[in-house]
């Protein structure tokens, strides 16, 4: 069984290596992206915006944070141990970038594997069924010999 798999994947080493690279990159980005931000690991509360300043409270204490972006929501994320110094406003654009930066390497790896599987399937199909060889895969050997004979006769 191992020999059949090795023969089937012969010549696909670089492509499979690229797929493994992108998959590993996605795995590495999961903790980097999601554990580095209080948006994913911290506590969140709803704040109130008054004149460009978002006010929020936690554990009976009141805090404030400047609202400097038009993309920010009034949702405030922070670490419960330091709600005043670790606070950040929720930002939908930043959330989309975080999710995309993790998802894109996995999607690239999936696309590479899919394209390679399709190529291997076509190669195997054409190898086993000569009639399945379609346009662009070469001429029948008899046709090539006949055309070469005609060309030789024309030159002489």
Question: For the ranges 57-61, 65-69, 100-104, which has the lowest average pLDDT?
Answer: 65-69
12 pLDDT band (50/70/90 cuts)? confident
Residue 90 Cα distances to 54, 55, 93, 130, angstroms: 11, 14, 9, 60
Residue 83 confidence (pLDDT):
87
Residue 29 confidence (pLDDT):
93
With 0-12 / 13-18 / 19 or more C-beta atoms within 10 angstroms meaning exposed / middle / buried, residue 142 is exposed
Residue 28 confidence (pLDDT):
94
Rounded average pLDDT over 114-125: 80
pTM of the shown model: 0.62
Instruction: Single out the residue of 29, 33, 12, 32 nearest to residue 98, CA to CA.
Output: 33
Residue 97 contacts residue 21 (beta carbons within 8 Å) = no
Instruction: Single out the residue of 56, 57, 64, 67 nearest to residue 91, CA to CA.
Output: 67
Rounded average pLDDT over 144-153: 91
Considering the chain, what is the average pLDDT of its residues? Answer: 82
């Amino acid at each position: 069984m191992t020999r059949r798999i090795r023969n089937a994947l012969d010549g696909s080493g670089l492509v499979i290596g690229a797929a493994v690279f992108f998959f590993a990159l996605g795995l590495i980005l999961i903790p980097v992206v999601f554990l580095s931000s209080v948006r994913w690991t911290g506590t969140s509360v709803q704040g109130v915006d008054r004149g460009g300043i978002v006010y929020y409270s936690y554990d009976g204490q009141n805090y404030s944070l400047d609202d400097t972006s038009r993309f920010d929501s009034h949702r405030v994320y922070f670490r419960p141990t330091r709600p005043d110094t670790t606070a950040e406003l929720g930002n939908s654009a930043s959330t989309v970038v975080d999710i995309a930066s993790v998802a894109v390497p996995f999607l690239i790896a999936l696309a590479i594997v899919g394209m390679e599987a399709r190529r291997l399937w076509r190669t195997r199909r054409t190898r086993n069924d000569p009639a399945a060889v379609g346009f662009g895969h070469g001429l029948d050997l008899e046709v090539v010999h006949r055309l070469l004979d005609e060309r030789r006769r024309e030159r002489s």
